[in-house]
């Protein structure tokens, strides 16, 4: 299966059919080879960094992916309009869509990836499993039949045995995937998986697999060219996941021995050669505790986690893609590949880990990345993070001579990275990296589920950070009353301050001592701060004889604070007008994020109980169920399926019985 009938396919300008950090990543390697680069953008991305940095940029539609980044005709037209003669799909969106690859070929464009036939054969999970079974590769037991009827699917799930995994045939990245524990929850999980798969990939077809408990998720990076050559670049361990989406990836895996690596690599290369596969690909396996491995799927594209392989091999995988696409032979042979050190990547996502990883969107008021560590991103201070796309906003990669060195560098890099304005999983990632189980290399796919409470536990010195936030809110407030001076300030002149952190209102007292230091008191605790330096970017201070520092940003009544990599957001309520207390249990179901209504699960007049699902919203390509807060009767449904809603909007109303 080859991309074309000619050996050499020269091209000079590449259109990148993607957005964000991967668009910038492809631009970097393309320019290294002397190629021009063209960006595409939706209305939501008009001012995005990948648009600004491209040689040319073409609008391809409205904000929703189906109207822009998934619009094949618009992207082909953009390539023609810009004079591009090749297309790089990045990952996600149309990267594994055989119709898109064929459309590029029909339009005379070089598709930087495998042939449409290879994408169709191996990108389809059911077809790929059949090919692997015939080749003698062990696969996970399951069902991948053409009959997708609800009753048939439930019967097959019972036959396989619960728990089962529902997976989108055309998908990846956790979209359209559901772990189902029993038959009762299967119908709704099936509906939800199909809906999510349809929205993300345009295909609602799913397969079923037996759920292997607590495995490692191991993938093998492969490359093939049009001359029949094929290589593997070792494995990546992608076991640390939430919502079946990878959060931390590393190479090599602590669970893979040299013999197992050779065996898995041999299987992967044999598959590539049998397919006459061209370009980058990844074979994904589940590895059980006994060392048995089972083929899951093949991703016929570049992976999000490709930088860890680049770090330990010294190869530029995007450059290899470009060279193979223009008909060159792979520049390295299997015996030439050397693995050096260890690399770990984390995915920084705009989500609230404490709220079940709820996606977040909005304006990134301040964005600063550290020096000395690789950060793949497409952000700058003031960038808007729209609610329509994947929540991953950056990747941070640590590389070292040993795993411990790579882990340490990555933790320091995360401590130094600053993202103020939108909640991210920065703190959660550091908790994962510092956890003893991860530090020992023992993490399986059950890691986050098993240690969730530990990973989300507040830090031991949270009270100190609250005090620091209270101090900064007060001393940076231009409307604050002047500091009083006198002989006994501590005893007679405490100034009340009220702040809100994580929805909790806190009352503090702040005063200034005669020596210029500040005291912040709350619930009998007193913290003394001596400020050495205070400017728009940060504060240096002394506390208990130790000099420390923190970054902060004052944005109206809002304060963004970060000390040792742990961000905190606080609101100044001291001078604010009293607000009516928000009622709890008022029966109103409010949108928890900006998103699109994909399923209304009840209708007016229905009786519901507290905790019952009433509506499903989709944000950043993931579905989120909204539930009733009280027992009662549905009084009104205030939105329609397909409607885009904003955070806080009332979507349903429930009246008490």
- Catalytic residue ranges: 301
Nearest to 341 by CA among 308, 306, 304: 308
Which two three-digit tokens encode residue 563? Answer: 């000390």
Q: Specify the residue for token string 């609602």.
A: 204
- In degrees and rounded to multiples of 5, residue 55 shows phi and psi of -65, -40
Closest of 372, 391, 382 to residue 49, by C-alpha: 382
The Cα–Cα gap between 423 and 641 comes to 27
The encoded tokens of residue 571 equal 């609101």
Find, among 127, 109, 84, 77, the residue nearest to 4 by Cα: 109
Angle at Cα 544 formed by Cα 540 and Cα 550, nearest 5°?
25
**With helix as H, strand as E and coil as C, how does 122-174 read?**
HHCHHHHHHHHHHCCCCECCEECCCCCCHHHHHHHHHHHCCCEEEEECCCCCC
Tally Cβ neighbours within 10 Å of residue 338. Answer: 9
Closest by Cα among 317, 21, 296, 348 to 172: 296
Alpha carbons 539 and 622: distance in angstroms, whole number: 38
Largest CA distance in the chain: 90
Backbone angles phi, psi at 400, to 5 degrees: -150, 170
The contacts of residue 546 (CB under 8 Å, 6+ apart) are none
d(CA 347, CA 21): 12
């Amino acid at each position: 299966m080859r991309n074309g009938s000619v050996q050499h396919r020269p091209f000079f300008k590449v259109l990148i059919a993607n957005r964000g950090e991967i668009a910038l990543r492809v631009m970097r390697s393309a320019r290294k080879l002397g190629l021009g680069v063209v960006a595409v953008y939706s209305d939501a991305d008009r001012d995005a960094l990948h648009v600004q940095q491209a040689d040319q940029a073409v609008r391809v539609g409205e904000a929703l992916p189906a109207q822009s980044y998934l619009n094949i005709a618009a992207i082909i037209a953009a390539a023609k309009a810009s004079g591009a003669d090749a297309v790089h799909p990045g990952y996600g969106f149309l990267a594994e869509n055989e119709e898109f690859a064929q459309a590029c070929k029909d339009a005379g464009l070089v598709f930087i990836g495998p042939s449409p036939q290879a994408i169709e054969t191996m990108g389809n999970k059911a077809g790929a499993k059949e090919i692997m079974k015939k080749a003698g590769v062990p696969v996970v037991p399951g069902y991948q039949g053409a009959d997708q009827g609800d009753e048939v699917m439930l019967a097959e799930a019972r036959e396989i045995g619960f728990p089962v995994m529902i997976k989108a045939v055309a998908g990846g990245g956790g979209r359209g995937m559901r772990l189902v524990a029993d038959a009762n929850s299967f119908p709704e999980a099936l509906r939800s998986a199909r809906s999510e798969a349809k929205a993300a990939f345009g295909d609602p077809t799913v397969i079923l697999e037996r759920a292997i408990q607590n495995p490692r998720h191991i993938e093998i990076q492969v490359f093939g060219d049009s001359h029949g050559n094929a290589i593997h670049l070792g494995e990546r361990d992608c076991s640390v996941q939430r919502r079946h989406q990878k959060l931390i990836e590393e190479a090599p895996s602590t669970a893979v021995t040299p013999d197992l690596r050779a065996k898995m690599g041999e299987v992967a290369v044999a598959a590539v050669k049998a397919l006459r596969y061209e370009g980058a690909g990844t074979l994904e396996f589940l590895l059980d505790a006994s060392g048995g491995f089972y083929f899951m799927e093949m991703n016929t594209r570049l992976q999000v986690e490709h930088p860890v392989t680049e770090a330990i091999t010294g190869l530029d995988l995007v450059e290899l893609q470009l060279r193979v696409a223009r008909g060159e032979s792979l520049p390295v042979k299997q015996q030439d590949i050397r693995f050096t050190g260890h690399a770990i990547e984390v995915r920084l996502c705009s989500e609230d880990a404490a709220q079940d990883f709820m996606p977040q969107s909005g304006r990134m008021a301040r964005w600063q990345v550290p020096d000395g560590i690789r950060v793949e991103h497409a952000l700058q201070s003031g960038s808007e993070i729209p609610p329509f796309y994947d929540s991953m906003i950056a990747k941070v990669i640590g590389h070292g001579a040993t795993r411990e060195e790579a882990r340490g560098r990555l933790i320091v890099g995360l401590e130094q990275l600053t993202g103020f304005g939108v909640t991210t999983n920065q703190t959660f990632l550091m908790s994962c990296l510092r956890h003893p189980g991860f530090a020992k290399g023992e993490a399986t796919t059950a890691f986050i589920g098993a240690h969730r409470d530990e990973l989300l536990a507040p830090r031991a010195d949270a009270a100190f950070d609250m005090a620091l936030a209270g101090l900064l809110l007060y001393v940076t407030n231009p409307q604050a009353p002047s500091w009083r001076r006198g002989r006994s300030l501590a005893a007679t002149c405490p100034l009340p301050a009220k702040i809100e952190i994580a929805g909790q209102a806190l009352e503090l007292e702040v005063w200034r001592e005669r020596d210029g230091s500040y005291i912040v008191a709350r619930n009998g605790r007193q913290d003394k701060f001596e400020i050495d330096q205070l400017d728009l970017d940060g504060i240096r201070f002394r506390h208990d004889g130790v000099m420390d520092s923190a970054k902060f940003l004052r944005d109206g009544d809002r304060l963004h604070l970060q000390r040792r990599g742990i961000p905190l957001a606080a609101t100044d309520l001291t001078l604010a007008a009293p607000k009516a207390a928000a009622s709890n249990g008022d029966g109103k179901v409010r949108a928890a994020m900006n998103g699109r209504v994909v399923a209304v699960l009840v209708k007016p007049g229905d009786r519901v109980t507290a905790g019952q699902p009433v509506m499903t919203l989709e944000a950043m390509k993931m579905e989120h169920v909204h539930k009733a807060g009280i027992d009662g009767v549905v009084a009104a449904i205030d939105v329609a399926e397909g409607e885009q809603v904003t955070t806080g909007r009332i979507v349903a109303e429930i009246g008490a019985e």
